[in-house]
Structure 1
Amino acid sequence: MRVVSCLVEDHNLLLVGLAAVVCVIGSIITMNLFKKMRSSRGLNRITWQFMAAAAGGASIWCTHFIAMLAWRPEVISTYEPVLTALSLIVAIGGCALSMFVGAFRFQTAPVLGGAIFGVAVSTMHYTGMLGLRTHAVLHFDMPYVVASMLLAAVLGMGAYTLAAYASPRYRMALSSAVMVLAIVSLHFTGMAALVVSPIGGVPDYSGVNDGFLAFGVAGVALLLLGSALASYVLHEQAQARERRRLKALLEGSVDGMVVEGRNGIMMFNKAFAELVGAADGTLHLSSIGSWIEDAQSMSDQTVVQSQLKTEAGEVIPVEVAVRADHGDSGESLRLFSVRDLRRRLEQERRIAFLARNDSLTSLPNRASFLEKLERMAHLHKHAPGFALLAIDLDRFKEVNDLYGHSVGDQLLVHIAGEMKAVIREGEFVARQGGDEFVAIVPLNNLSGQREEARAAAQRLREAIITPMQGEHTEMGCGASIGVALWPQDASETSILINNADLAMYRAKAALAEEICFYEKTMDEAVRQRRRVTQGLRDALENQEFELYYQPQVAVDTREITGYEALLRWRQKDGSFISPAEFIPVAEDTGLILPIGEWVLRRACEEAKHWDKPLRLAVNLSPVQLGHTDLPRLVHQVLIDTGFPPARLELEITETAMITDMARSTFILRQLKALGVSIAMDDFGTGYSSLSTLRAFPFDKIKLDRAFMGELEDNTQSRAIIRAVLSLGESLSIPVLAEGVETVDQLNFLREQGCDEVQGYLLGRPSRRALPLSQESVEIAKAG
């Protein structure tokens, strides 16, 4: 009651209220600055400590001074300047020391700092009281003095402890309120301890009005506190901008981003919240270790794979990158980048699957097949071994052409499914690519291997030919299967694959046999074909080909009208390989193009130096005719060799034209525009001779030699020859008969009006364009 009486009766309540305002504002600002100082490091910490000490000391001293001015003792009093100034220094210094100690990291530091704060406030108060000058005896009641100091110390410890450890939501309000209580309880309890006894009357004293002085002190205090508050607000705004910028950076990442501080998760982006499926309130200040396995033990600059547990309990594989950092306040932070690995792991599984399986049919691919084949060869070194089946679909191209590639793909998927449904344990089926498949079938019966392999091949073939139901019709295709047995047919897996392919090609070529087993004769034929192919390449590179020329003779004048260039391939032993043997190989391998160019160029170069400017006939392969660059090549050869185009005659077969009549006709017209002649070779043995003659105006028709061989014994051949000669006469196209070897053949052709002949009777092919021999001249005249 003595304290209450002192407050109510001995103080100006207006000034008391002003002191309270200064105290409340100062306490709030001081506690905020103290919080900022505790979270700062280095120079920032010293700066905030200075501002907090200045704000705290000024607010305490101003509260005390205004409250002293509000005190109305019975005698007029004044204040001694030195002790009054010293009390201000004590307040500021004491606040600085208390905050320095209270900011340490050990557990009791805030308690010790709060106690120092209470002592500093008490020392400031009683130092200021000692500076009071009045005509009275001042007596302090010690129990009240001790009570005031205890209240200041205890409440100071409470304020600092709340500022350090209370919930962030209520920290500032509680700590500021307790600090106000510490200051107020000290002051008014201390004032209640003072007993004033006037002496010697009341001297005359005039000076500044206490009210004006109180408001002046309050103004200065608020100005100082306002400066500190402005600095605090500006810094908070700067930090808020940085937080917003950091938040924007976090949100801009597709990965989950988390910033963890001392008290838990401080910031996180939307991607992380969606990944864990938790609300913002649940994530804020929670431990990162509660979401990510072993997150607390992860070191700086590491990237590890871990697991994330969602709010719903789902476990998600993640990749976590960790980096340590410090905020502006010096607080240790850890930044976590959390990447969801589900899609990547799924893609890796997909890539691994595609690396070993066909993307369309899901059957094992060639790589898987080769690995399986090597394992099987290692496990089955001895009989009975296993059978390798090379499977090629028949008429599959027709499905693509008729219905489109999408339907073709559906058919492949259907076939793959049918084969997977019929394979037995231990058997293996893979897709090589396109419409080619392979199968590996373990053999168990030593005495009946072929029958066992054939049964498996037949089972797979029946699955393949099972029709697929389309939109309007059933569709399907056949299969040609080649079988090679291990280890009977090969000692290496590569040879086994080759042998199975050889058998498959044999089955594909056979009309009545869908399943064919490998035989050694197939290998010999392939090796011979490969030898011929390599020999052609070597002969072309080493200029081993030779050109022979066979004369073409006019029937009526018995004179040579030209020569046909014939290609010969001489071997090292002096023998020749027949063109009928190596020309088809050259056409299949594409070597006919460089060989044909060599023949045309060499023939033109040699014919340019003949004694007489006779016609030069050169054969064109169907492959050459199908090449769109042929007219340019012929034109270039004529320019390079200087050979007259009018002397060049290009011979083509009607078989070469029938593949693409429109394209062939277009190319032939381009050739004829160069000035060269075009002759139809082997007339009468093609598909549609009359339509071919109608499609293009040939300069000559060459009657095939096959009719000459049957002329004497076959009346049909005679009739065909007469018809061809009549056709040529009607179309005004000269006819040359090939293969004339007897006088009777020559006489028959002369009687029927044939224009030219060519054959052994009048001249054999030779390295040079020789004139007719005397014997040939006499034969021609005798005829």
Structure 2
Amino acid sequence: MRFLTCLTEEHNLALVGLAAWFCLVGSMITIRLLDRIRHAERASRIAWVFLGGAATGATIWCTHFIAMIAYQPGVEVAYEPRLTGISLLLAILGSAGALHLTTRRGRPSAALGGALFGLTVSAMHYIGMQAFVANGLVRWSPAYVAASVLFAVALGVLAFDRARAAGRFAGPWWATALMVGSIVLLHFTGMAAMTVTPFAPVAGQFGSSTATIVMAIAVAGVGTVVIGTGLATYILDSQARADTRRRLHELLESNVDGMAIVQDGAITATNAAFATLVGGGGAIVGQPLACWIADIATATPDRLVQLTLVASDGSDVPVEVAVRFDQRRACPQTIYSIRDLRARIAQERRIAHLARNDSLTGLPNRTSFLEWLARQTGADSPHRAVALLSIDLDRFKEVNDMHGHAAGDQLLVRIAERMQAALLPGEFIARLGGDEFVAVMPVAEPDDAVQLIDRLRDAITAPVMIEASGIEANCGMSIGVALWPRDATELSALINNADLAMYRAKAAIAVDACFYEEHMDKTVRVRRQMVQELRTAIDRNELALHWQVQESVGSGAITGYEALLRWTRADGSSVSPAHFIPLAEQSGLILPIGEWVLRTACTTAASWAEPHRIAVNLSPVQLGHVDLPRLVQQVLLDTGLSPARLELEITETAMITDPVRTIHVLRQLKAIGVTVAMDDFGTGYSSLSTLRSFPFDKIKLDRSFMAELNGAPQSAAIIRAVLTLGESLDIPVLAEGVETVEQLAFLREQGCDEAQGYLLGRPGPLPARGRAEAARLAG
């Protein structure tokens, strides 16, 4: 009852309300500043503690003295300035100490800080009461004094503890209410402990009503300035922190990786990328990061670590985590950068797959094949023998040429699927490129490979429906088989031997699969050595031109010479053109050799005194080259030979591969002014259609008909027919291979235009004289 009567009967309630307002506003600011001090960086912590101590001290001091001014004991009162100032200084220093102690780490620090706050409020109150001077007798109730101190300490401990706690009955509003209760209960319980008994005024007593008014104004002014300063500072700092949080949010959101900031074991900020990564499904802020990444504690700042994130739907997401610790703050925080590895892992798997598998068919590629073959034939191989099958598709180029590469690709994919499906456990197949495949299988006997060959034949030769064009296409196959270790112990030799057997099968007509035989290797080695020697034959001056005379059958006059290529090695041995010309065509050496022959022949002929015509043979490979007309024209310009003196000889076989293009090239050559002769006429595939397609300047009858002239009546009939054909088409005919007088007489009787052969002159380094000229010089 004393507490209530003191508050209602002995106080000015308007001033009590003003004191309560100061207490409420100051307490709110104090609790906010307490939180700011907790999160302040070390460099600014002292400044914030000072500001918080000033605002808190001013709060409790203003509350106390405004309430004291509101106290009306019925006698004149006054205040001693020195003790009043000491009470203010004590309130500020004690409050600063309490705030600093509360913001230290550890839960007990909040209780100790709250207790120090309660003792500070109590000390400030009772020192301030010592400055209270009344015209009466002041008596104190020890029970009320003890109760006031107990209220201040207990509620102070609760207020500061609730300010740092989280959850129910915690937070700034609960802490503010408890702090207000601590100050209010201390003051009014302390006031209830005091009883003033009036007595007569004493002369010389200091204090007056004017001093009381001045004190009230001073207290209000100090309180307003200090609390206003604290409030303005807090508002400015809140705006600055809001700007910092906004910039942090923008920085987090601008990162494509998931970002999470963890403080005190809980997430304080994330970005949208992290929310997308975990899949949403609940609150993220405030939760430990370990809820999604169980092994997050293993992440260290010095390295990237790959962990597994469990999304909200339960799926595992491989992530790469980078960590950085921020120790500059009062409460250190950890920044996690979390990168989703699913796309990268999928890309790495695709790259690894492409590195070891064919991109079109999906079959293993050359790298995988070599590794597999090495394991099967290694020292620790469990197999006694291994068969290597080299597979080449026949007629595949025709599908590409007729129906396009898309159809060819579809054919390859379908055949690859069939071959893969035809394999048994332990068997292996790979695509090396183009239409080349290889297969590997362990065998006990060589004939075991035949079973795989039969299965592959069914897979390859079965028709394939091309969806794009709606046509049916099929291929043949050529397979060469080499056995390890019977045919080779080295992998390169084994692969080479399987290829040799495959080429033999490709050249054969009756079979599509061949096993390797040793003599094949010897033949190929000789051919390869010859090609290597042929590459350097021009530089070593081993190639030379021999000239064979061509005469008029009727008059015996020289009509020209044919340039024939000869190769004599440095050791004096000669190589037949029948051997090295096909090798030059297969290896592509025929192009530089053909250019050398053309240029040498034209240069030599240009130096002759007599303007005889020269005949130069063209290979089908040369004829298929787009630069042939330009080359011929350039050689004629460089050598000064008249185009009319150059005759180019081609075979019917050269026109079969691409007749349209060949005829176009021949017309370009004729436009230059050179003549074109059909060589080896009668031995090709479609001689009459060829003559109809292009107006040749000469027909050269193949030497095989002259060789069979005496023994085969059919040859004589064919010769007559060709001569009649030439006469009707107005194309001169030259017969090759004339070696006897009888053959020459037959040609003269049948009206042949020209002849060439050993009877007229053997090929030699220098042009031979004709028979008529030789007879004239001899006579």
TM-score (norm. length: structure 1): 0.91
**Letter of the 1:486 counterpart:** W
**Letter of the 2:40 counterpart:** S
In 1, distance between residues paired with 2:114 and 2:408?
A: 87
Aligned twin of 1:581: 579
The 3 A distance-change label for structure 1 pair 380 and 702 is farther
**Letter of the 1:635 counterpart:** Q
**SS of match in other structure, 1:378:** coil
- Structure 2 counterpart of 1:465, from 455, 461, 476: 461
1:774 Cα deviation after fit? 6.8
Aligned twin of 2:449: 453
The 3 A distance-change label for structure 1 pair 623 and 368 is same
In 2, distance between residues paired with 1:609 and 1:473?
A: 60
Aligned twin of 2:324: 323
Moved more, 138-147 or 574-583: 138-147
Aligned twin of 2:367: 367
1:2 Cα deviation after fit? 0.9
The 3 A distance-change label for structure 1 pair 779 and 682 is farther
Q: Deviations over 1:569-618 (max 9, x none)?
A: 01334332111111111111111001011111222222222222322222
Aligned twin of 1:298: 299
Aligned twin of 2:661: 663
**SS of match in other structure, 1:75:** coil
Moved more, 672-681 or 461-470: 461-470
1:65 pairs with 2:61: no
Aligned twin of 2:261: 259
Aligned twin of 1:178: 178
- Structure 2 counterpart of 1:228, from 227, 230, 233: 230
Moved more, 517-526 or 701-710: 701-710
In 1, distance between residues paired with 2:538 and 2:287?
A: 81
In 1, distance between residues paired with 2:378 and 2:596?
A: 50
The 3 A distance-change label for structure 1 pair 489 and 451 is same
Aligned twin of 1:289: 290
Aligned twin of 1:439: 439
In 2, distance between residues paired with 1:768 and 1:102?
A: 118
Aligned twin of 2:271: 269
Q: Deviations over 1:686-734 (max 9, x none)?
A: 3333443344343333333233223344444344434444444444443
Alignment check: 8 A CA contact 1:391 1:438 kept: yes
In 1, distance between residues paired with 2:422 and 2:693?
A: 53
Root mean square deviation, CA, Å = 3.1
Alignment check: 8 A CA contact 1:381 1:487 kept: no
**SS of match in other structure, 2:318:** strand
1:503 pairs with 2:504: no
Alignment check: 8 A CA contact 2:531 2:583 kept: yes
In 2, distance between residues paired with 1:600 and 1:474?
A: 46
**SS of match in other structure, 1:432:** strand
1:635 Cα deviation after fit? 2.6
Alignment check: 8 A CA contact 1:743 1:779 kept: no
1:29 Cα deviation after fit? 0.5
1:467 Cα deviation after fit? 4.3
Moved more, 756-765 or 590-599: 756-765
In 2, distance between residues paired with 1:381 and 1:309?
A: 44
The 3 A distance-change label for structure 1 pair 171 and 348 is same
1:408 Cα deviation after fit? 4.2
Alignment check: 8 A CA contact 2:558 2:770 kept: yes
Alignment check: 8 A CA contact 1:390 1:501 kept: yes
1:422 Cα deviation after fit? 4.1
**Letter of the 1:254 counterpart:** V
1:615 pairs with 2:616: no
**Letter of the 2:367 counterpart:** A
Aligned twin of 2:247: 245
Alignment check: 8 A CA contact 1:549 1:767 kept: yes
Moved more, 588-597 or 526-535: 526-535
The 3 A distance-change label for structure 1 pair 124 and 420 is same
Where structure 2 has 5 or more consecutive residues not aligned to the other structure, the ranges are none
1:506 Cα deviation after fit? 1.9
In 1, distance between residues paired with 2:721 and 2:473?
A: 46
1:770 Cα deviation after fit? 4.0
Aligned residues: 775
1:575-724 alignment, distance < 5 Å: 575-724=573-722
In 1, distance between residues paired with 2:47 and 2:756?
A: 117
In 2, distance between residues paired with 1:201 and 1:169?
A: 52
The 3 A distance-change label for structure 1 pair 525 and 776 is farther
**SS of match in other structure, 2:139:** strand
Moved more, 764-773 or 56-65: 764-773
In 2, distance between residues paired with 1:208 and 1:6?
A: 24
- Structure 2 counterpart of 1:521, from 519, 528, 545: 519
Aligned twin of 1:308: 309
1:328-343 alignment, distance < 5 Å: 329-343=329-343
**Letter of the 1:285 counterpart:** G
1:139 Cα deviation after fit? 3.0
1:509 Cα deviation after fit? 2.1
Aligned twin of 2:756: 758
**Letter of the 2:309 counterpart:** L
Alignment check: 8 A CA contact 1:27 1:59 kept: yes
In 2, distance between residues paired with 1:382 and 1:184?
A: 94
1:16 Cα deviation after fit? 1.0
The 3 A distance-change label for structure 1 pair 700 and 208 is farther
Percent sequence identity is 56
TM-score (norm. length: structure 2): 0.91
In 2, distance between residues paired with 1:774 and 1:617?
A: 21
Where structure 1 has 5 or more consecutive residues not aligned to the other structure, the ranges are none
**SS of match in other structure, 2:94:** helix
Alignment check: 8 A CA contact 2:376 2:383 kept: no
In 2, distance between residues paired with 1:208 and 1:180?
A: 30
**Letter of the 2:683 counterpart:** T
Aligned twin of 2:56: 56
1:566 Cα deviation after fit? 0.9
The 3 A distance-change label for structure 1 pair 222 and 697 is farther
1:179 Cα deviation after fit? 0.9
1:273 Cα deviation after fit? 2.8
Alignment check: 8 A CA contact 2:299 2:321 kept: no
In 1, distance between residues paired with 2:69 and 2:7?
A: 13
1:126-145 alignment, distance < 5 Å: 126-145=126-145
Alignment check: 8 A CA contact 1:364 1:431 kept: yes
Alignment check: 8 A CA contact 2:281 2:312 kept: no
1:208 Cα deviation after fit? 5.3
1:473 Cα deviation after fit? 6.8
In 1, distance between residues paired with 2:738 and 2:774?
A: 12
The 3 A distance-change label for structure 1 pair 260 and 554 is same
In 2, distance between residues paired with 1:703 and 1:66?
A: 138
**SS of match in other structure, 2:504:** helix
1:570 pairs with 2:571: no
Alignment check: 8 A CA contact 1:547 1:767 kept: yes
**Letter of the 1:676 counterpart:** V
1:156 Cα deviation after fit? 1.6
In 2, distance between residues paired with 1:359 and 1:637?
A: 46
In 1, distance between residues paired with 2:474 and 2:558?
A: 59
**Letter of the 1:374 counterpart:** A
In 1, distance between residues paired with 2:154 and 2:384?
A: 98
The 3 A distance-change label for structure 1 pair 299 and 159 is same
**Letter of the 2:690 counterpart:** T
1:94 Cα deviation after fit? 1.5
Aligned twin of 2:107: 107
1:627 Cα deviation after fit? 0.5
In 2, distance between residues paired with 1:379 and 1:301?
A: 44
Q: Deviations over 1:238-285 (max 9, x none)?
A: 22222233223333333322111114111122333333334452x222
Moved more, 79-88 or 721-730: 721-730
In 2, distance between residues paired with 1:476 and 1:743?
A: 55
**Letter of the 2:260 counterpart:** V
Moved more, 583-592 or 142-151: 142-151
1:27 Cα deviation after fit? 0.5
